[in-house]
Amino acid sequence: MLAELESKQAFILHTRAFKENQLIIEFLVEGEGRLSIIASKGGKKNSARTALLQPFRPLIIKYKVGRGLHSLKSVELNPESADIRLKSKSLFCGFYLNEVLCRLCKSDAQYDELFPLYDYAISHLQHSSEREIDTQSGMYLEAILRQFEYRLLVMLGYGISFDYDLHSEADIKADKYYELLAGSGFVFSNTPQRAIIGSDLMGIDSFLNTDLEIEKLSAHKLKLAKLILRACLHRHLGDKPLKSRELFRK
């Protein structure tokens, strides 16, 4: 007799058609990580199921573990979580998160901390969608993305330190200049034109590590964090650019 399947919280990252009536769905599953699960299409007769099999919706799934692909046995909306409906720029940010995650995290690898990290980012994107905070300056959305990128890199073991000079191991000084070694950290620099002043680096990691407080964000530091994290991500993503960046019209 088959053991009873466990119910797990999950988000859909991506779906693609497989054969005529099936889908291969990339799920982000609580306590597991990214899993490829095969499911039958909802089709016209089961629109409720089709509506559930969409990215960003908080789901409870049951699946049977297979050798390669797993198979989906049941799916329902998570009754304990508010439904997520991303709009406009928040939706584009959601696509960005999913693309970064699918590019950086391997399927079937164990990432315990990935689900809460994604859940945190998505619920803040929803918060932004509801209140249309992004229409003001876009800073709130930028902050959510930067926190997600930084925490994801740390979780994967690619984190960098903003506190000390990588070569001398001395603390970062406010009046000295530093250069970024992508994927490693910062080193003292003699060429201020191409470097970042220490006072700008201070406080970036505490912002990236603590929960969002929009009124405390500095636009300049946020922009700097974007450049630093983009360089770090580029090192791990390779030369193929992220397609979701094209969604943000200038």
Partner 1 sequence: MSQSLLENLIEQLQCLPGVGPKTAQRMAFHLLQRKRQAGKELSVVLNEAMDNIGQCSECRNYTELELCGICQNAKRAIDGTLCIVESASDLAAVEQSAQFSGRYFVLHGCLSPIDGVGPSEIGLFQLEQMLENGHVSEVILALNPSVEGEATSHYIADICKSHNISITRIAHGIPVGGELEMVDSSTITHALMGRKQF
Stretch that binds partner 1, among 3-11, 82-90, 143-151, 211-219 (CB under 8 A): 82-90
Instruction: Name which of 96 and 178 has its Cβ closer to partner 1.
Output: 96
- Residue 242 binds partner 1 (CB under 8 A): yes
Binding mask 84-113 for partner 1 (x = CB under 8 A): --xxxx-xx--xx-xx--x-----------
Total residues in contact with partner 1, by rule CB under 8 A:
31
For residues 236 and 98, what is the distance between their CA atoms, to the nearest angstrom? Answer: 16
Instruction: Name which of 95 and 162 has its Cβ closer to partner 1.
Output: 95
Burial bucket for residue 2 (CB in 10 Å: 0-12, 13-18, 19+): exposed
Out of 11, 30, 33, 56, the residue judged to bind partner 1 by CB under 8 A: 56
Instruction: Name which of 94 and 198 has its Cβ closer to partner 1.
Output: 94
> Who's near 94: CB < 8 A, 6+ residues apart?
55, 56, 86, 122, 125
- Residue 78 binds partner 1 (CB under 8 A): no
- Residue 247 binds partner 1 (CB under 8 A): yes
Go through 172-183 and write b for each residue having 16 or more CB atoms within 10 A of its CB, e for each that does not. beeebbbebebe
In sequence order, the β-bridge partners of residue 34 are 28
Nearest distance in Å: CB 193, partner 1 = 34
Q: How would DSSP label each residue in 28-57? A: EETTTEEEEEEEE--TGGGHHHHHHSSTT-
- Residue 185 binds partner 1 (CB under 8 A): no
- Residue 209 binds partner 1 (CB under 8 A): no
Q: How would DSSP label each residue in 41-107? A: --TGGGHHHHHHSSTT--EEEEEE--SSSEEEEEEEE-TTSPPP---HHHHHHHHHHHHHHHHHSPT
Stretch that binds partner 1, among 43-51, 58-66, 160-168, 173-181 (CB under 8 A): 43-51
| Interacting residues with partner 1 (CB under 8 A) | 13-14, 16, 20, 47-48, 50-52, 54-56, 77, 83, 86-89, 91-92, 95-96, 98-99, 102, 242-244, 246-247, 249
